[in-house]
Amino acid sequence: MQLKRGVAFAVLLAMSAVSDASRAESPEQWIELGARVHGGFGAFIPAGIRIGLDALERLKAERRGVTVTFYSGEKAPCPCIADGVMLATQASPGQGTLQVAAEKAPAGLLAVVVVRDRKTGAGVRYSVSDTWMAKIVDWNRTLDPAGRYQAAMSAPGLFEVADAP
C-alpha cells in the first residue's frame, strides 16, 4: 500500500508539473519538464512528446482530452516514450487515461501508442520500428539534452501513423 501511495504521489506531482508547463513550447521548457518528471532526458522522452503533440493535432483534441494505451516492444529498455506522451497530452495513469499495456507490441516494433479522443472515440495508432533503437541509443550517448530533443523532433520517419481500429 505504501508503494502505491508513493506512485500516486509521484503521478500527482508529475501532473502538477505538467499543468504548470502545459503550454511548454520551447525546447528548453520540454527538456526541463521531461527531466523533472522522468528523472532524466533521454531521446525516448522527446519521441513521446512528438507523438503526443502529433496526436492532439490530428485528433483536434485538447490536452487531457485523450486516452493513451502504450505497448512496449521486446527490445525497448522501458516505456520511456509513454512519459513523453504523458507530458504532451496530459494523459495520466493516476486518472486512468494512460495505460501501459501488459501485452507487448508486435514483433519488429519498439513501441505502439494508441491515442483516442475521449469525446469522439476517434483514434490514431503510432508505430515505432525497433530499427530506431540503435539510432536513439546513439543520440543518448553522443548528444546533450538539447541535441536529443532536436534529433527526435526532426527525425524523418520516426513513426508510422494510421487510424486506430
Domains and CATH numbers, the chain: 2-163 (3.30.1330.130)
pTM for this predicted structure:
0.84
Distance of CA 131 to the CA centre of its chain: 18
Question: According to the model, what pLDDT value does residue 30 have?
Answer: 95
Question: According to the model, what pLDDT value does residue 9 have?
Answer: 38
Question: According to the model, what pLDDT value does residue 144 have?
Answer: 97
Nearest to 153 by CA among 78, 41, 20, 37: 41
CA distances from 108 to 91, 103, 112, 127, 130 (A): 26, 14, 11, 10, 6
Question: According to the model, what pLDDT value does residue 24 have?
Answer: 55
Intervals of the chain under pLDDT 50: 1-22
Nearest to 146 by CA among 79, 50, 46: 46
Question: According to the model, what pLDDT value does residue 164 have?
Answer: 96
